[in-house]
Amino acid sequence: MNSRLTYLTAAALASALAGCGSGGGDSANANPNTSVATGAPMQTLTISSTQDFASGASFGAVGPYEQVTGTIRGEVDPKDPKNVIIQDLALAPVNARGMVEYSADFTMLKPKDMSKSNGVLRYDAPNRGNILTMINPTASPSDAVYLERGYVVLYSAWQGDVPKSSPARLTATVPVAKNPDGSSITGPYRAELVPSAPVPVMSLPGGVFNGTMIPYAPVSLDTAQPGFSLTRRMNETDPRTSIPAADWKFANCDTAANAFPGTPDPTRICLKGGFDPKYLYEVVYIAKDPLVMGVGLAALRDTVTFFKSKAADNSGNANPIAGRIAHTIGQGTSQSGNAMKTFLHLGFNQALDGSKVFDGMYAHVAARQTNVNTRFAVPGGGGGLRTDHTAFGQTAPRALDKDYIDNLTGQKGGVMTRCAATNTCPKFFLGLSGTEFWQLQGSPVLTDAYGFRDLAQPENARIYYYASTQHGGPGGTASISYNPTRDVYPRGTVAHFNDTFRALFLNLEDWVTKNTAPPASQVPKIADGTLVRPEDVRFPVMKGLTWAVNGTQTPIPEFNYLARYNGYPLLDFGPQYRPQDESGIATQLPPFYTGKDYAILVPQVDPSTGLTRAGIRGVEVQAPLGTSIEFNYVATPGIIDLSNLGGSYIPFHRTEAERTAAGDTRPSLESLYGNQAGYVARVTEAASSLVAQRFLLQRDAERIIQQATASPVLP
């Protein structure tokens, strides 16, 4: 099912656009307080704590590590050509030196004896301010490999709307743009409110990951203002039903004593009668005081450059890793991986002195870009068949090649166009799970806009598809859960990419530091029939299985393939928006649907097992216990959607007799392996093959074989 946007902007928004203010950083409508910048931008390092890491454990010849935590405060020159792409930078307040100020929290893992470092600074981008998985050899012993090799690992904030909701959350402070007279800049803002349960109130800024960012305040709490509306619909393509202004308020009404209309609150929306989880709600209002969110990209550029190449800050505070870093590798996962691609696309991998910021970059499970350089940007959104079609990396190019031509729009240029022009492109890895194809519109990175031909990738890039995986999770049967009221099938995939990622990251390190070429890209292709239209996927019959739910074996419905996927419409956000850069000012909200769509293709499966045919096929795919499916369906009647970022798992029958009786066409465990020894032999063969291909570390192979030996699946 291809989900399309077919609606038009509300006419009431037109009157609000007069207060939209200026465009990008090179606007003539600049801040009158801007003075000529004097000298180079300054940076100040503050270290708040230094403590032993992992209880002082020693990591091979490198020895013990320590964790350094602090803040970088810096300046951005609004006149520097390397910064002018930042939306609204010319409208940001400046200090007496004519500079725009920022601050960014960081934490760093470093060898206590820096002479034993390998000279590689690995930057891991926080995801909505959170360190997704701090390298932790206690919880994940194989992660010790990074520390044994002597990495310095840096986590530093880049997203300016993250609240300091916990001490561990890394936040960045970026300025608020103002009109030249100092008044608030205003403009239209749109958000979706997606309740998962009946609730009286929902918080802003909205979206699938609601509650994790600081919202933009409305110009008024009066919901009857022109340009304000709240609508609801069940599915994205359904007609909107307007909710009267008198029935919703900017207010908090989270207790019985504080019932509708509640207590006025610009960060929440209270609905008379409450929000119903079967509906998708959309609020549009006129917001004020946009953050200059793109400053976070400049802060990241300058922070990494400082740790890489500066001896001390402008106050003489010493860089704790000064003189020890020869190479830098940036990594981001999911939303933060999209941000790394945006960082590269907008030219921020060129440092202020013209050098490369990152020598290598790994965008992991990151099919798109992120909405960080628009007015009223919300970088922490998400996307699905039913939700967030206009709030998350929707328009910037997926393709990497600098000379890519979008044959749907005629625009030329890909993610690497700017870095190619300045000779600052990194050696680049892109990793894709199955979720990126079904839910996050991933195939246009591999094909032309119409899905007719495979794209050739740049020589400095590799793309790796992790076969039969979902967007995240530990994998293994213990990770599977089943709530039949939420998902049609057991949720999760046994197949995972955690071990694969570890091996690939070391391949990227070797490419950067030794120029050792990594394995070739591993992706599905149109040419060999492994990348196909969703309607052409052919699954086997899967039925007659059960899964434990609260201790009771519950039947799993027979698998029914519905060919649902998240479409990719071409949208028009108005003349002040630059779609090719995911930048500018959106003045049409909701945006116009142009009547054109990019093709979405998905990985083809093996008709015998239901596991995908292409990509890096991990041990769990080569020696399977069942079918890991890269999507799942929402079980709520009437809702047409994929389970958010989740896959599904349907085990094989244990014996041939059980399989035959059920009418399941997939092989049984008995027919695949014969007995437990046969299963362990297949696991061993698969692990050894992956090690030889450099897709698995030997230490992980040994662990996987040991686990298979200790986990009986057959007599």
Q: What is the largest CA-CA distance in the chain?
A: 82
Whole-angstrom Cα distance, residue 327 to residue 270?
Answer: 51
pLDDT single digits (tens) 572-625: 999 999 999 999 999 998 899 999 999 999 999 999 999 999 999 999 999 999
Per the structure block, which two tokens stand in for 98?
């004519």
Q: How far apart are CA 688 and CA 623, in angstroms?
A: 12
Q: What is the pLDDT of residue 631?
A: 98
Neighbours of 135 (CB within 10 A): 21
Query: What are phi and psi for residue 708, nearest 5 degrees?
Result: -65, -40
pTM exceeding 0.75: yes
Question: Which of helix, strand or coil describes residue 56?
Answer: helix
What pLDDT, on the 0 to 100 scale, is given for residue 35?
A: 55
Over 70: is that where the pLDDT of 419 sits? yes
Q: Quick one: pLDDT at residue 19?
A: 38
Q: CB of 92 within 8 A of CB of 78? A: yes
Burial 492-515 (b: 16+ CB within 10 A, else e): bbbbbbbbbbbbbbbbbbebbbee
State pLDDT tens for residues 120-175: 999 999 999 889 777 888 888 999 999 999 999 999 999 999 999 899 999 999 99
Instruction: Report the DSSP pairing between strands 552-555 and 546-549.
Output: antiparallel
Binning pLDDT at 50, 70 and 90, where does residue 392 land? low
Burial pattern 174-211, b for ≥16 Cβ within 10 A else e, equals bbbbbbbeeebbbbbbbbbbbbeeebbbbbbbbbbbbe
Question: In the chain, what are the domain boundaries?
Answer: 186-288, 426-565+604-715
pLDDT of residue 9: 31
Nearest to 373 by CA among 389, 358, 402, 395: 395
CA 530 distance to own-chain centroid: 25
Q: Reduce the DSSP state of residue 330 to 3 states and report it.
A: strand
Quick one: average pLDDT of 696-708? 98
Tokens 């310095």 belong to residue: 152
User: CA of 521: how far to CAs of 367, 428, 460, 693, 695, in Å?
Assistant: 15, 11, 11, 12, 12
User: Who wins on pLDDT, 351 or 386?
Assistant: 351
Question: What pLDDT is attached to residue 23?
Answer: 40
Chain mean pLDDT for the chain: 92
Mean pLDDT across 188-215: 88
β-strand partners of 7: none
What span, in angstroms and rounded, lies between the C-alpha atoms of 301 and 354?
A: 12
Q: Which two tokens stand for residue 460?
A: 């400095």
Predicted local distance difference test score (pLDDT) of residue 6: 27
pLDDT of 283 > 90? The answer is yes
Give the pLDDT mean for 547-561.
Answer: 96
| 46: β partners | 71
* Tens-place pLDDT, residues 468-493: 999 999 999 999 999 999 999 999 99
- The pLDDT of residue 137: 87
Mean pLDDT, range 286-301, rounded to an integer: 98
Question: Rounded to whole angstroms, how far apart are CA atoms 628 and 651?
Answer: 8
Under DSSP, is residue 344 helix (H, G, I), strand (E, B) or coil? helix
The two structure tokens encoding residue 238:
């359904």
- Contacts of residue 328, defined as CB under 8 A and 6 or more positions apart, other chains included, come to 120, 121, 122, 123, 304, 308, 356, 357, 358, 359, 360
Q: Are 253 and 260 in contact, with CB atoms under 8 Å apart?
A: yes
> At residue 570, what is the residue type?
L
Give the separation between CA 301 and CA 307, rounded to whole angstroms.
10
Cα–Cα dist 426/508, whole Å: 11
